[in-house]
Structure 1
Amino acid sequence: MNCLRVGSGPTLVLVHGFLSGLAYWEKQIELFSSSFDVVAMDLPGYNGKADEVGLDSVEGFARYVLSRLDAMGIEKFHLMGHSMGGMIAQEVAIMAPERVVGLVLYATGPVGSLPGRFESIEQSIERAQTEGTQQVAYDTVRTWFSDGEDDPEFKEGIELANMVQTQTYVNGLLAMAGWRALERLDQIEAKTLVLWPDSDRSYLWPQPESLWQGIADANLAVVPQAAHNTHLEKTHIFNMLVVDFLKSEKVKLRHKALVKAF
């Protein structure tokens, strides 16, 4: 299974990040589906679609997400993206501004080269091509948790990462490195929540700050003492912030305006 749809209400689309899959949203889906029509999908090359070679552009991933939603007959939707998935979500919101109601950009940024990352994208690509992906994936995934490999969720995370083919790994990094939305953030019309864990080692503060300042109608939530995978580490706080935002009056008003315009 590489696509899950459950619940009822306004549609909420969840886009996972690099080296992960829809299974990463397990702690969110049960709660969110009580209020939303939740759609979570594996991107090409990951989890249930790991037999495919992943795409090498964020724009390609965005078109893939939109095509899947078209096939399901989904016109208007809320959208949440994590990490690389947050880059994809930005691109979707730019490509189809009339379709995205509420936007949650979580542990992500508008500069795909990831300045300040624990190691450069170029270093990760070189390691993957010369050593294989097992060690570099291990080193990457452990930075996503405050307790590293001792976090109870680390095992599932590294299992998902180890499913990824070497070329998919490289393509994912190339997709991010070749993408940038910093100068296009004013094209995002959706009501937006920028959600950032303050101990994120992949996206340092200038990244979420740029989103917060660059998107016209953006709010900011900072989760203290939390790493890249806050939705797994501090699930209650994360879920509360997301649901509160998506149910807010300003998001409801945008939905009404989009429906009326359509």
Structure 2
Amino acid sequence: MHHRRIGAGRGPALFLLHGFASSGAFFADMAGRLSHHYDVIMPDWPGFGASSIQAPLASIGDFAKAALCLADQLQIQRFFVLGHSMSGFVVQQLLLEHADRLHGAILYGAGLKVHAARRFESLEETLRRLESLAPAELARDTIRHWLAQPEANTDLFDACLRAAQGMTRQAAVHAVRAFAQADYTGCLDQVETPALIILGEAERSHPPSSALELQRALPHSHLAILPFSGHAAHLEQPVLFERALLAFLQAGQSLP
């Protein structure tokens, strides 16, 4: 699995896991700043980004295993992990089955499951559109729903589009089907790992109501809702996003 790694040896490892219609490049600017104090790893899931030639993963469990396999390959025993959007489900799987590998978890633009009535479109509609649209066209249509003010932030829109390059139709279909089946409702009450739930107030994939449910489900969690931002809050509000993220990471480092 292709990955980018910057800041090796400068601090604890931090995995940044991208979501649907994206790649590790989605985090490039933020990762550069974080790399002054953290060992930042940004994988491209199979079928996405620079991993486009690899066979896609079929389940959330497969995604979680792929992340652990990469950590093992890099000889990283414990790490922080951030999962954006669909990778929020990957993080929840890691919290349930591999908490011993985690210092802490960040769930960004995530929920316990996909609520059809809350998402900008149903997953069934996304799958139908995948039948007729090229992956790049679907990515463009999807990303239009990510920014709080897309018309005023064309540079951010273009950055998201560039990160989406490489997604294959097969990988997109497998990913949508995988997170359509994900539902962690009632599963997380025994999780002891510290968690940060962070999102923009204009989130349209997993809106604030979903974030509140996720916070109630995780016993040791904190919630940060950022103003004037949506599904790409780390791009729209980088200062606020990174302030909340760093506060969480630094608190996690002080724990035994």
Normalised to the residue count of structure 2, the TM-score between the two structures is 0.93
- CA separation of 1:78 and 1:122: change in aligned 2, threshold 3 A: same
- CA separation of 1:38 and 1:91: change in aligned 2, threshold 3 A: same
Partners in 1 of 2:133 and 2:31 — Cα distance?
36
How far the C-alpha of 1:146 sits from its partner, in A, is: 1.9
Q: Which residue of 1 aligns with 2:6?
A: 6
CA contact (8 A) 1:111 1:180 kept: yes
Q: 1:243 aligns with which of 238, 243, 246?
A: 246
Partners in 2 of 1:239 and 1:194 — Cα distance?
13
- CA separation of 1:136 and 1:39: change in aligned 2, threshold 3 A: closer
CA contact (8 A) 1:113 1:178 kept: no
- CA separation of 1:162 and 1:128: change in aligned 2, threshold 3 A: farther
Q: Secondary structure at the match of 2:198?
A: strand
Partners in 2 of 1:167 and 1:97 — Cα distance?
30
Partners in 2 of 1:3 and 1:199 — Cα distance?
30
How far the C-alpha of 1:106 sits from its partner, in A, is: 0.8
Q: Which residue of 2 aligns with 1:171?
A: 174
Q: Which residue of 2 aligns with 1:151?
A: 154
Q: Which residue of 1 aligns with 2:186?
A: 183
Q: Which residue of 1 aligns with 2:253?
A: 252
Partners in 1 of 2:80 and 2:196 — Cα distance?
11
Please report the RMSD computed on the Cα atoms of aligned residues, expressed in angstroms.
1.7
| Gaps in structure 2 of 5+ consecutive residues | none
Q: Which residue of 1 aligns with 2:203?
A: 200
CA contact (8 A) 1:186 1:216 kept: yes
Partners in 1 of 2:94 and 2:221 — Cα distance?
16
CA contact (8 A) 1:114 1:177 kept: no
Query: 1:90-239 maps to which residues of 2 (within 5 A)?
Result: 90-112=92-114, 115-148=117-150, 150-239=153-242
How far the C-alpha of 1:139 sits from its partner, in A, is: 1.4
Q: Which residue of 1 aligns with 2:26?
A: 24
1:159-182 Cα distance to aligned partner (Å, 9 max, x none): 343421111111111011011112
Q: Which residue of 1 aligns with 2:17?
A: 15
Partners in 2 of 1:154 and 1:129 — Cα distance?
24
CA contact (8 A) 1:113 1:176 kept: no
Partners in 2 of 1:247 and 1:140 — Cα distance?
34
- CA separation of 1:132 and 1:39: change in aligned 2, threshold 3 A: closer
Larger mean Cα displacement after TM superposition, 81-90 or 117-126: 81-90
How far the C-alpha of 1:205 sits from its partner, in A, is: 2.2
Larger mean Cα displacement after TM superposition, 191-200 or 154-163: 154-163
